């Protein structure tokens, strides 16, 4: 059984921002890279960004424009898509000296390893704990993907397929091959991957309310905080809802997002008059304080399952993530409606 409290304690202990300034390293040498099937279809500018870590995009576009980058000895534009068998000339550029990567403790590495729900030669699915960012940035050096890359050093192409908010727990996919990443992105765009969430909401959700279809628009406050609201000028957004269990003051819901907008489930639940328990942005503050006293001390939104067609078998793969111990214990203490 995973101890999420120990996991987050270990994570926070090793997630310190690094303050050392970067220094310029000597220019690299000309390299010629052979493109294999796994890189086919990738844009040349994105390929160069992966080869020239830390180089700003403006410099990448400059060396493309000047013809310093060649594919099969010819110039290409940034939107050129690589083909298997291409040979790419990567010119010498001055790379910033890489910072020493923050390393997870053995405890954190072991716990993340234990949170892996599914793994094959192309795909990993992890039960991400609440409080762990999916990637570093904005003062966070150690997220899920950085930890996975360190505990799987033999895997050179680990990439997040999608994202979960830091406070959301549950299933998240990590591709081990670029071909798998492309396949899953295509499946996501076409709506062929089913994401199933569990959410505890304020009040009594009516059985007849089976979906929320409301456009969402992102806004950034002066503080820099990102907020989302229902707005006629926003992007079309739709979420399917189903009652799972009823409690005295709240309802456990299944939520299936048809579209994939930022904070979609949280804002659609709020729009329906039933904000999520523990949601500091879109929830009911008074009710959240009440529920915190009952053990609900974080956002109750959990990516409970994923369903997809695996490209190697053409069969449906369903992976389920158990709810963490803290929320399970808190749920059991609530009075169920008879």
Catalytically active residues are 165
* CA–CA separation, 230 and 280 (whole Å): 17
Residue 62 token pair? 């400059």
What are the angstrom distances between the C-alpha of 246 and each of 5, 101, 127, 254, 266? 27, 46, 25, 12, 19
CB 196 within 8 A of CB 306: yes
Neighbours of 30 (CB within 10 A): 10
Q: What's phi and psi for 95, nearest 5 deg? A: -95, 140
Nearest 10 degrees: Cα torsion 168, 303, 230, 289: -50
CB 265 within 8 A of CB 197: yes
* CA–CA separation, 140 and 163 (whole Å): 16
Neighbours of 60 (CB within 10 A): 21
- Of the candidates 197, 35, 13, 202, the one whose C-alpha atom is nearest the C-alpha of residue 107 is 13
CB 226 within 8 A of CB 246: no
H-type helices in the chain, by residue range?
A: 4-14, 44-51, 57-65, 106-114, 144-151, 178-189, 264-271, 285-292, 325-333
Which residues make Cβ contacts (< 8 Å) with residue 106, sequence separation at least 6? none
Neighbours of 47 (CB within 10 A): 23
């Amino acid at each position: 059984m995973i101890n999420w409290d120990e996991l987050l304690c270990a994570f926070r202990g090793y997630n310190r921002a690094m303050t050392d300034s970067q220094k310029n390293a000597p220019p690299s040498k000309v390299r010629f890279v052979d493109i294999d099937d796994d890189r086919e279809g990738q844009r040349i500018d994105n390929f160069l960004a992966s080869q020239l870590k830390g180089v700003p995009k403006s410099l990448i576009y400059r060396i493309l424009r000047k013809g310093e980058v060649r594919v099969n000895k010819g110039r290409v534009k940034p939107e050129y898509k690589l083909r298997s068998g291409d040979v790419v000339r990567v010119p010498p550029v001055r790379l910033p000296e890489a910072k020493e990567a923050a390393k997870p403790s053995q405890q954190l590495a072991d716990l993340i390893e234990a949170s892996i729900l599914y793994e094959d030669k192309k795909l990993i699915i992890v039960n991400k704990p609440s409080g762990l960012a999916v990637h570093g940035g904005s003062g966070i050096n150690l997220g899920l993907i950085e930890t996975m890359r360190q505990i799987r050093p033999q895997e050179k192409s680990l990439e997040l397929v999608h994202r979960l908010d830091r406070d959301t727990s549950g299933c998240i996919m990590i591709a081990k091959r670029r071909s798998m990443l492309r396949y899953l992105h295509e499946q996501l765009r076409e709506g062929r991957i089913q994401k199933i969430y569990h959410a505890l909401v304020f009040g009594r959700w009516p059985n007849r309310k089976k979906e929320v279809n409301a456009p969402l628009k992102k806004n950034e406050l002066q503080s820099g905080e990102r907020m989302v609201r229902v707005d006629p000028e926003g992007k079309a957004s739709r979420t399917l809802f189903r009652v799972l269990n009823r409690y005295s003051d709240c309802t456990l819901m299944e939520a299936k997002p048809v579209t994939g907008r930022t904070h979609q489930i949280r804002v659609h639940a709020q729009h329906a008059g039933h904000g999520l328990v523990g949601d500091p942005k879109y929830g009911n503050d008074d009710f959240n304080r009440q529920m915190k006293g009952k053990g609900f001390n974080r956002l109750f939104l959990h990516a409970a399952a994923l369903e997809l067609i695996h490209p190697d078998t053409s069969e449906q793969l369903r992976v389920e993530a158990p709810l963490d111990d803290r929320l399970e214990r808190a749920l059991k203490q609530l009075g169920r409606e008879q």
